[in-house]
Amino acid sequence: MTASSETVPKVAPAPATSLERANHGDRAFKGLLTVAALAVPILLAFLVYELWDGASLAIAQYGFGFVTSSTWDPVAEEFGAMPLIFGTLVSSLLALVIAVPLSLGVAIYLTEFAPKAIRQPVAFLIGLLAAIPSVVYGLWGIFVLIPLLRTTVFPFLRDTLGFLPLFQGPIYGPSMLAAGIILAIMVMPYIMSVGREVLLAVPNTQREAALALGATRWEAVTTAVLPYARSGIFGAVILGLGRALGETMAVTMLIGNRHEIAASLFAPGYTMAAAIANEFSEAVGDLHLSALAYVAFVLFLVTVIVNAGARLLIWRVARGSGAGSSAL
């Protein structure tokens, strides 16, 4: 670029500078990308630190007993997260009980039985469920699902299964069961799509071998496909659990938000995420805020563990197919 008109044209430096420029360019490029790549772990470390720091007051005050105590009284500044943890677990497990058979049924049907023409469209439609914002589920839950449950489904359950403590007691509407049902709808697309991927990763030879031995198509699924995909399917379910544990808005709008542990699924409850959503912006005392940050910290830890476990299981099927076949 530098034009020196009168001097003899220098041959050597010109390529040197262009190489140098390339070198500088490479370094700048890599530097920029490194900054972006470094930002991700730094942000997470920062997130963990801020949560810990925010929770430190409550951690110092209650220690580990926080998760086993069940009083939550902002006025007396007495906080325990047991009902929240209970509510989170129960609503998520309810969701799994409903969603797992449905989504695995869909996943198996779509990979093994369905006509080719409808596979993509059905998977796409169920995938749309995952795109619906949580708050819209909540809105639908308040004005459509809960009236339906209160007038029809809950009385029916009480009349037929009322001998179980799960289905006894007064019917309010907003309840653990309502939250579990909406969560089931919300996690279904995740379990379905990961389950489908896992089933697609099962080699065709598995199916062919079973069919050649005279199995019906369903027997081929249960004897050859599902055992092969077992850990991956388990992973899909755990991934769904991870989603359900952290789900906030729809649950907040449907669960009734009461710090109580009740045996009945018709009774209102509370979850960790819902408590943070409801109380955080209105919390006045430092200890109240800190207790909520502690709840967030616990929720974060639980979801990290659950998700890491899920990834590990899925990874074993999806990439460890070599290991799977050598075990046969």
Partner 1 sequence: MNRRTMRRSFSNLMVALMIGSVIVALLPLFFILLNLILKGAGSLSLDFFTKMPAPAGETGGGVAHALVGTLLIVGMAGLIGLPIGIGAGIYCAEYPGSRLTWTTRFVADVMNGTPSIVVGVFAWAWIVAQQKHFSALAGSVALALLMIPMVLRTTEEMIKLVPNSLREAALALGYPRWRTSLTVVVRATLPGILTGGLLAVARIAGETAPLLFTALGSQYLSFNLDQPMAALPLTVFTYATGPYEEWHRYAWAAALVLIMVVFILSLGARLAVRRRFTLNG
Which residues, 147 to 176, sit near partner 1 by CB under 8 A? Answer: none
Q: Write down how long the chain is.
A: 328
Q: Is 212 in the site for partner 1 (CB under 8 A)?
A: no
Q: In b/e form, how buried is each residue of 15-35, taking b as 16+ CB within 10 angstroms?
A: eeeeeeeeeeeeeeeeeeeee
**In the window 58-97, what residues touch partner 1 (CB under 8 A)?**
none
204 token code pair: 């065709």
- Quick one: DSSP state of residue 267? S
Residue of 17, 23, 151, 152 interacting with partner 1 (CB under 8 A): 23
Residue of 16, 97, 263, 308 interacting with partner 1 (CB under 8 A): 308
Shortest Cβ 205–partner 1 spacing (Å)? 21
Residue 48 CB coordination number (10 Å): 14
Shortest Cβ 5–partner 1 spacing (Å)? 28
For partner 1, which is the closer residue by CB, 117 or 327?
117
Residue of 300, 318, 320, 321 interacting with partner 1 (CB under 8 A): 300
Q: Is 200 in the site for partner 1 (CB under 8 A)?
A: no
User: What burial class does residue 299 get, using C-beta atoms within 10 Å of its C-beta: 0-12 exposed, 13-18 middle, 19+ buried?
Assistant: buried
Shortest Cβ 146–partner 1 spacing (Å)? 12
- Quick one: DSSP state of residue 72? E
Q: Are the C-beta atoms of 295 and 62 separated by less than 8 Å?
A: no
Contact range with partner 1 by CB under 8 A, out of 24-32, 157-165, 168-176, 318-326? 24-32
DSSP 188-211: HHHHHHHHHHHHHTS-HHHHHHHH
Q: Is 185 in the site for partner 1 (CB under 8 A)?
A: yes
Contact range with partner 1 by CB under 8 A, out of 68-76, 89-97, 210-218, 319-327? 210-218
